[in-house]
Structures are given as C-alpha cells and as structure tokens.
Structure 1
Amino acid sequence: MNDNAYINALEMSARLTERPIRKAIKSLELRKDAQILDVPCGIGNHMLWMLEAYPDVSITGVDIAQTHIEYAKSNLGKAGKTDSYRCLTGDINRLEFPDNTFDLVWCCDGLYPGPKEEGYLAEEPYEILKNMFRITKTGGTVALLLLSSQKLLPGYPFIETALNAADSAILPFTPAADPELHFMCAPAWMRKTGFVNIEARTFTADFQGPLTEQNKTDLSSIINMFWTPRVEAQVSRETWENFKRITDPASSRCILDNQDYTGMITYTMYSGVVEH
C-alpha cells in the first residue's frame, strides 16, 4: 500500500472509530498540564481529539513515516492547534526520551506483536513496554488501545464466523504463536513489565442504518480490510461468494443498503500505572 492509500485508510479508520476513541480519551481524566506521548501518532487525529478534550495539555506525536508526520502537522495546524504539540519522526522500538518525561503514553493500534517483515512494529511487546515505562513519570499511565472485535454482517452469523476463523483473519496471531502474545493478554504484558493498577475497558462504535454514502464507503473499505482475499483460500467457495454478494456495493443484496443495518466495532484500552 503506497503512502497516499495508507493515509486514506487512516482517515477512513478515524471516521469509523472517532466515537470510541474520544470516549477512551475522556475516560483518562487528564490533568491540565499533562505531558502526553502519542506513538505511533499516524496522521494526528488522536492528538487533535486529545487537545480538544484537554486544551491545556502538551502532546508529542511520534511516527516512523515522515509523510504521516507532515500530514499530522497540517491537520493540527488547520485546526488552530499551534502551540500545544510537536510531531517527530521516530521508531516505537527506540523512544529516545529522558526518564520520567510523560504523564501519559498513548499507543493505539501500535503494539500487535507480529513479524516485522509483514509490517508489524515488534515481534514481542516487552522491550517497547519497558521503554514506555522508563519514560513515564511515577503515577503516570501507559494506555494501549487495540481493535478487539467487530460485528459487521448482521443476518449472516455463519458467514462472519467462518471468515473470522480463517488464519489470515487473525493475523498477526497464528496457530503456532505463544498464547501470551495474543493482544488480549496485554494485562499480563503490563504486569510483567512492572505496571500496577492495570485495567481493561472496552469502547464501542455503533453503526445504524440508514447509512450515509460516506458510512457505506467507509464500512465497505473496512470490511475488505478485515477479510482480504487471503481469507478466500481458507473458507468454502459458497461462503466466499455469499460474502462478496452481501458486501458488494453494486449488489442488490448489499447489506449496507438495508435501512435497518446495524454493526459495531470495539476498541479495548489496557492501561497501567507506573511506579518507579
């Protein structure tokens, strides 16, 4: 996926997930002068939402892609947020900040352990979490947000279950993987790294028909991201053909055209407090 296509995908994701992410941000109840790190910050949407929720905080955004950093600066500048942030090119595996720098380290969709050759940022979470622990102040928080579930094919539970059972739909987790590396074991990752007061909270984005054309376009895109052609080889031909039939925008049976459509995506936030 080229840079422009990836940025478009990030914008699409932001439109679909804005509500649960804003709820998660609000739940943190940050103090007025908090110092925040957002890594990977992508194109800056979460930085913007944090500054809207907490106008007096200061945020540093770090992303490995320079194109994302430039886009984030543009987004924040257009929103009039000029003095409360900085955007830096950097690697989540090498966060070179002094000890005890941040009150909050925010990491959304950045810590799914998986093969680096397939684009994942780390093969295991512990070294990254140790560094996040180091740069967080005593009493500060590290928050990991991870996409945890979706229900997007109402009326077709057998199709959705079959698609979700395909190995390629569960990547980067594989049948041979250490169970502890599954993202829902994040509380264990944090406990082993020394965090205390570990919590898991889930936030939901609900979609209800009749959908706008933008909703339809975004949901169609994310459906195709969840269940790529790699899944096709692992389900029956009938299942795949029926899936394409009910999700193809050109099909008369497209479920996104149903005025009574409902669907949902959940994000789970795993947070832990630092005690040095």
Structure 2
Amino acid sequence: MDTDSYIRSLLVANPLRESILRSVIEAIQLPAGSSGLDAGCGIGLQCLLLAEAVGFSGHVTGLDQASGLLNCGEELVKEAGLSQRISFQKGDVTTLPFDNHTFDWAWSADCIGYAPLEPLPLLKELSRVVKPGGIVAISGWSSENLLPGYPRLEARLRAISGGLAPFIHGKKPETHFLRALGWFRDIGLKEPRVKTFADGFYAPLSYEIRAALTDLIEMRWPDAERELSSDDLSEFQRLCLPDSPDFILNLSDYYAFFTHTLFWGYVAG
C-alpha cells in the first residue's frame, strides 16, 4: 500500500477506533504534565489522545520511520492547535534515537508484537528510554466480529492468511501479541498487567462508521478469493462486497464489535 492510500485508510478508520483508544489510554493513568513517547506513531492520531491525557503542561513525542506519515501528523497537530505539546521525530523503533531515561512513559500501538520483528528487543528499547518508575504500554487490535449471523463463514475467514493478520502464521507461540504479559516479565518490568476493551456499532450506521467498517472488511480479508472454497467464496462476495445488494452493512439489525488489548507495566528503580 502506498503512503497516500495508507494515510487515507488511517483517517477512514479513526472514527471506529478513537473512542476505544481513548478508554485504553485512560486506563494507564498517565500523570498530568508528564512527557512521553508514541513509538510507531503513524500520522499522530494517538498523539492527539495522549496529549489530551497528559494535559496542557505535558508533552508527547511521536516517532515513526516514514517521513510522509510524519508530515501528515504535523499538519494534523497544527490544525488541532497542539504544535507546542506534540512534536515528531523520524526514527526506528528497533533503535530509538533517545538517551536512557528520557521519558516519563512510552506507548506503542499496533506495532510491537505486530511486525515480523522479535518483540522482546523492541520492548526493551521502549523501557530503556523511560525513567525508573515510569510506564511502558503496548496495545493492539485483538479480535472482531463483523458478520453477525454468519459465524461459520467468519471463522473460515479468520483462518485464511489475511484473516490471521497481524498474528502471522508460523510465529512462535510465545511471540504472539496476546502472550505479551510474559515479555514484560522477561525484561523485568514491574507489576505487568493486561486489560481488553470492547466497542460495538449497530444500525443505523453513520456515514463515517459505515465507511470505516467497509474499509475494515476490505482490509481484513484481502486474499479470500484465493483461499476459500467456491461455496464460501460465493457467500463472501454476496455479504462482503460493497456493491452487492446483500452487503452485510445494509442489514437493518446489523451489529459488529471488536476488541483492543492493552499490556502495561513499570520500569524498575
């Protein structure tokens, strides 16, 4: 996916995710006036929520390796009037360009545990740049139910290559995102904990939520045509293609939900 398409996808998805991510961030109770890092920040949508959580005297640094995403983030932050409270820096989460104990906390969403990289070194890098007693938190999309009334088809879709994302087939079980509690313990973070959040949407859907759900369905199962049986493929095309008269979002009793899981702990010292 090119940068412009990816940015569009992030913006379209935001109405679906903003509320739940605000709840996730509230759960870790970032101190007012604190300074923190959003590692793998993309276009900075979560930087806005993090800045909201730490208040007027706090500061958020967003880091990403894609200049195009950072440029977009700077524009969004400028439009929001938060340029004094949010800044961006280009860099790689594998080797963070910050000194030890720079931040009061570090956050990363849909990044550590999602990429094909080993998660433990990435989590160690996050904890390295956080002051003793500070918070390290990672979170990610963990499940969804988008096809109410069709559990068999949805189960088959979850089992195809695209449906497994971001939990890549062939990964060691202990590197699966939902095993992150063990990573926190392995690197010595204190009081590791986990919480899963859920949110749902039902008909009638607003234009923004309908667009976000349509985009999500298209993103989740891009390889369905290659991996489903002919019968399942026919049902998938009937229910999941926006041009179909039976597109599932047209149901008057449509309901979908998804979950987002948060892991967090504290740097020793």
TM-score, normalised to structure 2's length? 0.95
Distance 2:192 2:252 in 1: 41
Deviations 1:200-256 (A, max 9, x none): 11122211111123322221111111111x233322111121112112222221120
The whole-number CA distance in structure 2 between the counterparts of 1:139 and 1:262 is: 42
In the alignment, the residues of structure 2 paired with residue 214 and residue 126 of structure 1 have an alpha-carbon distance, to the nearest angstrom, of 37
For structure 2, list consecutive stretches of 5 or more residues without a partner in the other structure.
Answer: none
Judged with a 3 Å threshold, the aligned counterparts in structure 2 of structure 1 residues 65 and 153 are, in CA distance, closer, same or farther, namely: same
Deviations 1:183-216 (A, max 9, x none): 1111111111111111111122211111123322
Post-superposition shift, 1:175? 4.7
* Residue in 2 that maps onto 1:271: 264
Q: Secondary structure at the match of 1:71?
A: helix
Which stretches in structure 1 are left out of the alignment for 5+ residues?
A: 114-119
Structure 1 segment 35-184 matched on structure 2, within 5 A: 35-55=35-55, 56-113=57-114, 120=115, 122-184=116-178
**Equivalent residues of 1:211, 1:259 under 8 A apart:** no
Mapping 1:209-248, distance limit 5 Å: 209-228=203-222, 230-248=223-241
Question: Structure 1 residue runs of 4+, over 4 Å off?
Answer: none
Which stretch shows the higher mean deviation, 62-71 or 233-242? 233-242
- Determine if contact 2:13/2:215 at 8 Å carries over to the other structure: no
Aligned residues with identical type, % of pairs:
32
Per-residue deviation, 1:6: 0.6
Say which SS state the counterpart of residue 233 (structure 1) adopts.
helix
Deviation at 1:50, TM superposition (A): 1.8
1:199 equivalenced with 2:200 (yes/no)? no
Alpha-carbon offset, residue 54 of structure 1? 2.8
Q: 1:131 to 1:265 in 2, by over 3 A?
A: same
Partner secondary structure for residue 223 of structure 1: helix
CA offset digits 1:150-208 (Å, max 9, x no partner): 00000111110111112342135455321111111111111111111111111222111
Match of 1:117 in 2: none
Aligned to 2:255: 262
Would you say the 8 A contact 1:102–1:135 is kept in 2?
Answer: yes
Deviations 1:77-102 (A, max 9, x none): 11111211210111111102111111
Q: Is the 8 A contact 1:232 1:240 kept in 2?
A: yes
1:141 counterpart SS class = strand
Aligned to 1:116: none
The residue type paired with residue 267 of structure 1 is H
